[in-house]
């Protein structure tokens, strides 16, 4: 039996390959069809993905706003939810967004792929679904 919804896993795969807008789309479909607490978890992930798009594109205000909203949603699920170690994920996320969260964020730092969080699930899925062709080779923007 699969522990995770296929749309969640598709979003994770897209997110981890840097296709944040596409991961947002995958999770948004799931968010629309979910009731209860998990809905807020998916909302947090969607806002992380949108925030990374803003950060990558130099929209510092949008990145700050999405970071704040995302962390507000995800902190409700600490320390671990749907296989995601949220304690570690939020630390990595803060490190990634640090350049726009600092008081003096006027000097833009170059983009650093090494700072972008990766979603690792524990326990690992028994299988990973294929990414639908509608999400073929997206881009970080």
pLDDT digits (tens, 9 = 90+) for 23-57: 999 999 999 999 988 999 999 999 999 999 999 99
CA atoms of 93 and 99, how far apart (whole Å): 11
CATH number reported for the structural domain that contains residue 89 in this entry = 1.10.3450.10
pLDDT digits (tens, 9 = 90+) for 103-128: 665 666 778 889 999 999 999 999 99
The residue-averaged pLDDT of 77-83 equals 97
pLDDT band for position 2 (cuts 50, 70, 90): confident
Question: Does 137 reside within a domain?
Answer: no
Tell me the pTM: 0.90
Number of compact structural domains in the chain: 1
Residue from 38, 66, 71 nearest 50 by CA: 66
Residue from 119, 122, 121 nearest 96 by CA: 119
Q: Which domain holds residue 66?
A: 6-103+112-126
Question: Does 141 reside within a domain?
Answer: no
pLDDT band for position 75 (cuts 50, 70, 90): very high
Question: Does 134 reside within a domain?
Answer: no
Q: What is residue 135's predicted lDDT score, i.e. its pLDDT?
A: 72
Furthest CA-CA distance within the chain: 50
The residue-averaged pLDDT of 82-95 equals 97
């Amino acid at each position: 039996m699969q522990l995770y919804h296929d749309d969640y896993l598709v979003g994770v795969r897209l997110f981890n390959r840097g296709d944040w807008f596409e991961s947002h789309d995958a999770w948004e479909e799931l968010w629309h069809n979910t009731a209860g607490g998990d809905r807020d978890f998916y909302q947090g992930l969607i806002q992380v993905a949108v925030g990374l798009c803003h950060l990558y594109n130099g929209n510092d205000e949008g990145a700050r706003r999405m970071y704040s909203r995302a962390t507000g949603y995800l902190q409700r699920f600490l320390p671990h939810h749907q296989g995601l170690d949220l304690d570690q994920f939020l630390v990595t996320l803060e490190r990634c967004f640090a350049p726009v969260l600092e008081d003096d964020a006027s000097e833009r730092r170059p983009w650093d792929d090494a700072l972008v969080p990766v979603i690792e699930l524990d326990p690992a899925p028994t299988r990973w679904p294929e990414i639908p062709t509608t999400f073929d080779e997206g881009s970080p923007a």
